[in-house]
Amino acid sequence: MQRRMRYLRHKYNIPIRELSAHSGVCQQRLSQIELGERPGTAQMNELAGTAFRRYIVHKREDLTRLEAELAVYGNRLVEPMEEHNANT
């Protein structure tokens, strides 16, 4: 039986590798927990909740930066531009 964390991860298109990165739990273990192959302990529940919250903060920061850039470049989105580093 799948667990709620898997449902939410799929519903919001969160890759397991990203949830793993934010939880400190390996992908394999998260997958086993999601699928009910490992017991869902209180500690695992807390780690999963923390991972989702950290993921949300990370995405919110990315979206805030995107929103700011869109405000600056919104009327020039289809114009050519110089090469830029992906992080700038």
13: left (phi over 0), alpha (psi -120 to 50) or beta: left
**Closest to 19 (Cα-Cα) out of 47, 55, 59:** 55
Q: How far is C-alpha 9 from the geometric centre of its chain's CA atoms?
A: 9
What is the domain count for the chain? 1
Question: Which residues constitute the domain of residue 52?
Answer: 4-74
Is 56 part of any domain? yes
At 39 the pLDDT is 83
pLDDT band at residue 81, thresholds of 50, 70 and 90? confident
In a domain, 65, yes or no: yes
Q: What is the dihedral of CA 6, 8, 12, 15, to 10 degrees?
A: -30
pLDDT in tens, 4-56: 999 999 999 999 999 999 888 899 988 988 888 888 889 888 988 999 999 99
pTM above 0.85, yes or no: no
